């Protein structure tokens, strides 16, 4: 029965439909993996009883021919998505006991389509981190080798998919938080166009950059799952009121791809295995008839500095609501209002979150605002227009997902070195563009990833390209 968990989402759907196995059997199989591999620390909450109960309901629906798109498919949510009456911690002591009174749109959509929620996955605190070491609930271990980081911040989701603990998982990506862990764990991760997926009930880190997405076994699974969570939501002003593409069909359609390669950026890659792997991947696509074009993204190297002003600035305001008064951690030691504020926040937030609040506060403060925040917004404009220009020539852009394979847990202590993890993933967030990371090879046992960036709302195109690559290779396959 444990083999069930290794099936892809489409295979699981087929199996449920033909009654080769039941949703209950599938759910039990995943729960077993969650239990037996609990030392990976991928989950913060597991809803065993409820999942089993819901799987029985799903089985009834299937036998009554009332099958919804994801009927009976067991999935996991990053613990950043609020679920009504469920603990939603965001990986923080601040929300250790926060029982959400309402549900996120992403959860509601998947739930309404018949998915079964197995639990909530571990993550970097408030999605701030690239190694999953900042979680208040302990670090997550990479299922491939427990010495290594699964990446972050959606490290719990990526590791859970890799460890066969769920069919697919939701994640969020502010500067690479879906794609970098996907790359580190050897799974597929997609961050759609900003505004494609509702942010309602998705706890904010940096509002103009945050976007929900999917971690899955392959591009085809990701296409279906993404389709299920995409679309306009009147509760989110930044949600795009545009029709959702038919990703499931688009993924197999005959597309003419013109793939842009930012030559200067690629030439600068210092890690030879990353460079070599990237060039090999491009070669594979070229041989299959994908046109390759060199492009120039002249300002892309300023993405990292601009991001580390904008994201902390927005986070410093987004996290001001955690004051201990209406919800969240409230210090026991407060005899004045000021003490209540200072003690609740100082006790409730971890070091990385505090650092980012400090940086953001500093960059917005009088005397520094123009030099930091305004400057960063101008660079953001330059980066976006670099992409706009490039997409006049090409249909997608390829880059490595990360500058390296996963690193050993605890090996990076300098914040800047950690931030540099996101150097290739950040540009897509600044420009609001869709991007997908898929496995492209192995170096010293650990996976490498390649990333395709698409134009505005061109999720279908990059999913198609990713699927094409996965049809040509087996880097995405694992036990």
Partner 1 sequence: MNTNSWESVIGLEIHVQLATFTKLFSSSPTVFGSEPNTQASEIDLGLPGVLPVLNKEAISFAIKFGCAIDAKISNQVVFARKNYFYPDLPKGYQISQLDDPIVGEGKVKILLGDEEKTIGITRAHLEEDAGKSIHDLFNESSAIDLNRAGTCLLEIVSEPDLRSANEAVEYLKKIHKIITFLGISDGNMSQGSMRCDANVSMRKFGDDKLGTRTELKNINSFKFVEKAINYEISRQIKELEKGNSIKQETRLYDSTKNTTRSMRSKEEANDYRYFPEPDLIPIRIPKDLVNEIKQNLPELPEALKKRFIDSYNLSDEDADLIIANKETASFFEGVLSHNVSAKSAINWITGGLFALMNKNDLSILDSKITPEHIAEIIKNTDNQKISGPSAKKLLELLWESGGNVEKIIIKEGLEQISNDNQVEKILDEVILENQKQFSQLKEGKDRLQGFFVGQVMKKTSGSASPQVVNKLLKEKLSK
Partner 2 sequence: MKINKQDLKNISLLSKIKIDDDNSASLITDLESILNMVKKMEKIDTSSVEELSHPITTTQTLREDELKDEIDREKLQKLSKEKNSGFYITPKVIE
Residues marked as catalytic: 78, 153, 177
Among 113, 340, 403, 442, binds partner 2 (CB under 8 A): 340
φ, ψ at 189 (rounded to 5°): -135, 130
Shortest gap between Cβ of 399 and partner 2 (angstroms)? 18
Helix (H, G, I), strand (E, B), or coil: what is residue 451? Answer: strand
Residues 119-138 within binding reach of partner 2 (CB under 8 A)? none
Q: Which residue number, 327 or 478, has a Cβ lying nearer to partner 2?
A: 327
Q: Among 361, 420, 473, 478, indicate the residue that binds partner 1 (CB under 8 A).
A: 361
For residue 86, give the nearest of 149, 43, 56, 126 by alpha carbon.
Answer: 43
Q: Which is nearer to partner 1, 223 or 431 (CB)?
A: 431
**Residue 314 in the binding site for partner 1 (CB under 8 A):** yes
User: Among 14, 145, 234, 294, which residue sits at the site for partner 2 (rule: CB under 8 A)?
Assistant: 234
Instruction: Please tell me whether residue 98 binds partner 2 under the rule CB under 8 A.
Output: yes
Bridge partners, 443 (sequence order) = 446
The residue among 400, 397, 396 whose CA lies nearest residue 439 is 400
Convert 271-334 into a string of H (helix), E (strand) and C (coil): CHHHHHHHHHHHHHHHHCCCEEEEECCCCHHHHHHHHHHHHHHHHHHHHHHCCCCCCCCCCCCC
* Stretch (H or E) spanning 435: strand 435-443
Classify strands 396-400 and 446-454 as parallel, antiparallel or unpaired. antiparallel
Does 98 participate in binding partner 1 (rule CB under 8 A)?
yes
Shortest gap between Cβ of 158 and partner 1 (angstroms)?
22
Instruction: Choose the one of partner 1, partner 2, none that binds residue 473, judging by a C-beta under 5 to 8 angstroms depending on kind.
Output: none
> With respect to partner 2, which residue has the nearer C-beta, 158 or 359?
359
Cα–Cα distances (Å) from 108 to 90, 103, 198, in that order, read: 18, 6, 11
Residue 206 interacts with, from partner 2, partner 1, none (CB under 5-8 Å by kind)? partner 1
Question: Would you count residue 11 as binding partner 1 (CB under 8 A)?
Answer: no
Q: Residue 306 touches which of partner 2, partner 1, none (CB < 5 to 8 A by kind)?
A: partner 2
CB of residue 82 to partner 2, shortest distance in Å:
12
Strand-pairing partners, residue 358, are: none
Interface with partner 2, residue 369, by CB under 8 A? no
Residue 162: exposed, middle, or buried by beta-carbon count in 10 A (0-12, 13-18, 19+)?
A: buried
Dihedrals phi, psi of 255, to nearest 5 degrees: -110, 140
Picking from 141, 177, 158, 151, the residue whose alpha carbon sits closest to that of residue 412 is 151
Task: Name which of 85, 113, 112 is nearest 99 in CA terms.
Answer: 85
Residues in the chain, overall count = 479
Query: Is residue 197 involved in binding partner 2 (CB under 8 A)?
Result: no
* Near partner 1 by CB under 8 A: residue from 39, 101, 267, 270: 101
DSSP result, 65-128 = T---TTTT-EEEEETTB--TTSB--TT-GGGTT-B-SS--HHHHHHHHTT-EEEEEE--SGGG-
Q: How far is the CB of 337 from partner 1 (least distance, A)?
A: 7
- Residue 171, classed as helix, strand or coil, is strand
Residue 208 binding partner 2, by CB under 8 A: yes
Min dist. Cβ of residue 66 to partner 1 (A): 31
Closer residue to partner 2, CB minimum distance, 52 or 340: 340
- Residues at the contact surface with partner 2, assessed by CB under 8 A: 98-99, 101, 194-195, 208, 234, 237-238, 240-241, 299, 302, 304-306, 308-309, 316, 320, 323-328, 330, 334-343, 345-346, 349, 354-355, 357-359, 361-363, 365, 371-372, 374-382, 384, 414-416, 419, 430-433
- Residues at the contact surface with partner 1, assessed by CB under 8 A: 81-82, 88, 90, 95, 98, 100-102, 104, 199-204, 206-208, 234-238, 313-314, 316-317, 319-321, 323, 325-328, 337, 341, 361, 364-366, 369, 373
């Amino acid at each position: 029965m444990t083999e069930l968990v290794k099936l892809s989402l489409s295979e699981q759907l087929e199996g449920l439909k033909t009654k080769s196995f039941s949703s209950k059997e599938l759910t039990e199989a995943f729960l077993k993996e969650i239990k037996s591999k609990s030392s990976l620390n991928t989950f913060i909450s597991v809803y065993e009883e409820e999942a089993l109960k819901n799987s029985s309901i799903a089985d009834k629906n299937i036998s009554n021919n009332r099958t919804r798109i994801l009927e009976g498919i067991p999935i996991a949510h990053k613990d950043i998505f609020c679920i009504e009456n469920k603990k939603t911690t965001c990986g923080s002591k601040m929300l250790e006991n926060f029982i959400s009174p309402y549900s996120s749109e992403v959860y509601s959509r998947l739930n309404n389509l018949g998915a079964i929620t197995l639990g909530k996955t571990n993550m970097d605190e408030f999605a701030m981190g690239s190694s999953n070491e900042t979680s208040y609930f302990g670090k997550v271990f990479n299922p491939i080798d427990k010495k290594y980081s699964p990446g972050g911040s959606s490290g719990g989701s990526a590791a859970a998919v890799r460890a066969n603990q769920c069919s697919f998982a939701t994640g969020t990506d502010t500067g690479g938080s879906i794609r970098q862990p996907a790359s580190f764990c050897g799974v597929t991760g997609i961050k759609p166009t900003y505004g494609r997926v509702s942010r309602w009930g998705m706890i904010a880190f940096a509002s103009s950059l945050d976007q929900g997405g999917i971690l899955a076994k392959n591009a085809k699974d990701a296409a279906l799952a993404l389709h299920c969570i995409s679309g306009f939501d009147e509760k989110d002003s930044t949600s795009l009121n545009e029709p959702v593409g038919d990703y499931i069909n688009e993924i197999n359609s005959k597309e003419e791809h013109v793939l842009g390669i930012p030559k200067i950026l690629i030439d600068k890659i210092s890690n030879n295995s990353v460079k070599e792997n990237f060039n090999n991947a491009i070669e594979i696509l070229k041989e299959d008839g994908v046109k390759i074009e060199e492009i120039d993204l002249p300002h892309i190297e300023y993405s990292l500095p601009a991001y580390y002003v904008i994201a902390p600035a927005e986070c410093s305001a987004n996290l001001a609501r955690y004051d201990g008064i209406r919800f969240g951690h409230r210090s026991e030691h407060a005899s004045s209002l000021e003490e209540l504020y200072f003690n609740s926040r100082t006790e409730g937030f971890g070091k990385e979150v505090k650092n980012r609040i400090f940086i953001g506060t500093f960059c917005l403060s009088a005397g520094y605002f123009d030099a930091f925040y305004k400057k960063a917004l101008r660079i953001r404009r330059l980066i976006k227009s670099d992409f706009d220009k490039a997409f006049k020539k090409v249909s997608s852009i390829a880059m490595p997902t990360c500058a390296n394979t996963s690193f050993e847990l605890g090996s990076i202590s300098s914040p800047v070195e950690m931030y540099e993890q996101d150097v290739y993933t950040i540009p897509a967030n600044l420009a609001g563009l869709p991007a997908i990371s898929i496995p492209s090879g192995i170096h010293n046992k650990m996976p490498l990833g390649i990333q395709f960036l698409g134009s505005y709302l061109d999720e279908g195109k990059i999913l198609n390209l990713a699927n094409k690559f996965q049809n040509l290779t087996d880097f995405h396959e694992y036990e």
